[in-house]
Each structure stands twice: as structure tokens, then as C-alpha cells.
Amino acid sequence: MKTLRVELGERSYPIHIGKNLLSRVPAFLTEAGVSVKQMLYVITDENVAPLYLEPLLQSLRESGYTVHSSVVAGGEQAKSFHVFERVMGEVIAAGLDRKSVILALGGGVVGDLSGFVAASFMRGIPFIQLPTTLLAHDSSVGGKVAINHKLGKNLIGAFHQPLAVIYDTDTLTSLPRREVAAGFAEVVKHGLISAEEFVAWLEENAEALNQLEPELIATAIERGCAIKAQIVSEDETEQDTRALLNLGHTFGHAFEAIAAYSQLNHGEAISIGMGLASELAEKMGLCEQGVSERTKRLLARYHLPTEWPDGFDPYDVLEAMRRDKKGVAGRFNLILPRTIGKVEIVKNVDEALILQVMRESAGRRQK
Ligand SMILES: NC(=O)c1ccc[n+]([C@@H]2O[C@H](COP(=O)([O-])OP(=O)(O)OC[C@H]3O[C@@H](n4cnc5c(N)ncnc54)[C@H](O)[C@@H]3O)[C@@H](O)[C@H]2O)c1
Ligand SMILES: [Zn+2]
């Protein structure tokens, strides 16, 4: 097992990464100072529940904890008002109090939803992340929790740091291929924003990583978590540098919102977004030629889309980008690459140029 730390003063917490950690959750709870007098509440989804919920509940009960649980639908649709209201009702009915602890067992959707339940119930109770997707190496760290609105992604949320992240890498063995690919989108993003040598390593080891070779995948997760943890420690509430983590996300969130959070998953949407961001940066002369090609080639090696998806109109995407919270006061502030391994916040990007890049991508698709 490897343990990293997110350094945030009194809100600092560990990220444990390793095999067979779900069976050791009671020990990690003790380490985090959670006593058996505190009621626990596990939130998970319908795909994860049949695989990992019962053994977890059993080990918690055997250790003396009182624990209840809710199971939500699988996929992005669960980050909705409707599901939030239902789960909140179940949590209240179970009799949780201010000392109770929520455990988020699942991918980024369960993590974001459960974290928002924890942030809102009685104005905030503690929660613990038990990530089960590759993508969740990103979403489980950093305390951004949210649900979606039909007008835009993650528009209703909070900053609420977990007490701990306990990442059992054995859970990845049951992850569908498409979700493995989606997870690599955020792994690649962590390389593109901060570490050329990590990008080169991802290029070199793509085949084995796609096969989830245990040692390599653990290294990829540790590196991704470390990059995220470092940035979050520097700028918890996104006053400046944390925004760099949004590479590809203004585009990506727009695709997700337009498709009503179906069709493309988050990883696919931001993969297309990172491709578009790199093209835009080349066109603006922010980075050398070839950055875009290398970015897209790497994403493609992880079976991710990088070109315009079917059925989207570039103008609609631009409109949805305007609503994304990163577009402050109608202006486009985008995260764009300077080179491989370095990105920058670029303010007031010309709307016409953004539209042109999207139209070119859509044009290539139609050929
Ligand atoms: N809070 C943040 O900082 C942050 C960062 C990145 C992404 N996100 C959010 O994360 C979400 C995407 O997360 P995700 O890609 O993990 O999606 P997800 O939680 O929907 O999981 C993907 C699918 O895999 C299934 N699944 C999960 N674990 C499994 C397992 N071990 N075996 C089999 N099936 C499993 C789920 O039921 C779901 O159908 C998006 O909403 C995105 O906005 C948040
Ligand atoms: Zn993301």
C-alpha cells in the first residue's frame, strides 16, 4: 500500500492506494478517528452494489459500527436534484446526526453526489471516498462535490474535503472497458498539465496500462493523485492554479450538458475537449506545431475520442460553453497548452476562433 497526503492544514487527509483495501476500511476509520458510536452511511450505485457493498457492510458491522446504505442508478444521471432529494430523504429517515459519516463507494458520480449530500446534510458532516473507477483517482481527491443542472455541469455544489480516500485498486478489475478508457482521460490530463516525462511514460506503456497491468496502473494512479493533491494543496478553492485542472473541461462540460449527460461520459467529453484545446492553442501560436497531434495520438492510444462527436452543432456547444461556470461574465477564460506538460490560463479568448476550431473538427468528422 502507498499513502499520499493532501496537505490542507487541519483539513489534511491521507490517500491510501493499494490492493484489498476495502476489507480494511474499519482499520482506516479508526485511524481517521471515527468511533463505533458514529453512525455510518454508505452511498453506492446499482453496478457497484452487487460487487462490493455487502462485504463492506459486513466488515463494518463486525467491527461494531451501525451502518445503513442507499443505492442510486449507475451513471451521470445520478448527479441530479431528483436523486439528491431521494438520498437526502433516506439519510434523514435513517436517523443520521452531525457526527455520522458518509462513505462514497463508487466512481466519480457517486463521489460527487455523496460528497454533496455530506456537505449539505445538517450543514456538513464528514465523508470518506472509496473510489472504484480509474477516473475517480481524480474526482475523489480535492473536495469538489456537486450535482448537475440541465443547463450546466456541476453548477450546484460545494467544497467539502473528505476525511480520507481509500482506493482499493482490485475494484478496477470489474470496470467495463469504456470506463477504463474514460479514466485514462484524467490520467493523461494530469500529465499534460504538469509533467512531460509522465506523458512520455504514458506513451511508452500504453499497451500494458490499457491491460491494467497491476504495478503500472498503481504507479499511474499514484502519480495522478500526487499531481492533483499538490495542486489542491496550493489552491484549494480555485483562486488561480487549481483552474489548470480544467484542461479540456469547458468544451467537455458543454458536450455533456447538451447531450443531457448521456451519449458521452465525462472522460470521453474531456478527451475531445483536450484535443480541441490543443488545436486552439496551436492556432493562437501559444504552443509549437505538433503538440496537438501528440496530444490526440496519446488519447487515441487509450481508446478515447478526440474528434467531433456525431450530432453536435458547434454553435450549440459554444452557447453551452458560455453557461459553464468557467466563462466568467461572458468571456472565455480557457486552459490551453504551452507545450506538452505545461498549460496556462488564457483570458478573453476570441470566440470566433473557438468556433472556427470546432467547425474544422466537425468538418473533418463529416468527410
Ligand atoms: N469532483 C471532482 O474533482 C471531479 C473530478 C473529475 C471528475 N468528476 C466527476 O466524476 C464523474 C465521472 O466519474 P466516473 O467516470 O467514475 O463515472 P461513474 O461514477 O458513473 O462510473 C462509471 C460507470 O462504472 C460503473 N462502475 C463504477 N465502479 C465500477 C467497478 N469497480 N466495476 C464495475 N463497474 C463500476 C458505474 O456504475 C458507472 O456505470 C463526472 O460526473 C465528473 O464530473 C469530478
Ligand atoms: Zn474531469
Q: Which ligand is nearest to the CA of 44?
A: 1
Pocket test for ligand 1, best of 76, 77, 109, 225 (most atoms within 8 A of CB): 109
SS (HEC) of 62-128 = HCCCCEEEEEECCCHHHCCHHHHHHHHHHHHHCCCCCCCEEEEEECHHHHHHHHHHHHHHHHCCCEE
Q: Which of 79, 137, 223, 249 is catalytic?
A: 249
CB contact at 8 A, 43 and 117: yes
pLDDT in tens, 205-220: 999 999 999 999 999 9
Distance 175 CA to ligand 1 centre (A): 10
Distance CA 93, CA 130 (A): 23
pLDDT of residue 123: 97
- List the domain boundaries for the chain: 2-174, 177-366
How much is the pLDDT for 261? 87
> What was the pLDDT predicted at 152?
86
77-113: pLDDT as tens digits: 999 999 999 999 999 999 999 999 999 999 999 999 9
pLDDT of 196: 98
- Alpha helices per DSSP H over 235-339: 249-258, 266-283, 291-301, 314-323
The one-letter amino acid at 100: S
So what's the pLDDT on residue 327? 52
How far is the C-alpha of 78 from the C-alpha of 355, rounded, in Å? 31
Count CB-CB contacts under 10 A for residue 27. 13
Write down the catalytic residue from 79, 137, 189, 266. 266
pLDDT grade for 163, boundaries at 50, 70 and 90: very high
Mean of pLDDT values over 132-146: 98
Question: Position of cell 461520459?
Answer: 265
Alpha-carbon distance 258 to 152, whole Å?
9
Q: Is 288 a catalytic residue?
A: no
**Fold observed for domain 177-366:** Dehydroquinate synthase-like, alpha domain (1.20.1090)
* Amino acid residing at 286: L
AA letter at 317? V
Please report, as a single letter, which amino acid is at residue 242. R
Pick the CATH number of 2-174 from 2.40.10.120, 3.90.180.10, 3.30.70.920, 3.40.50.1970: 3.40.50.1970
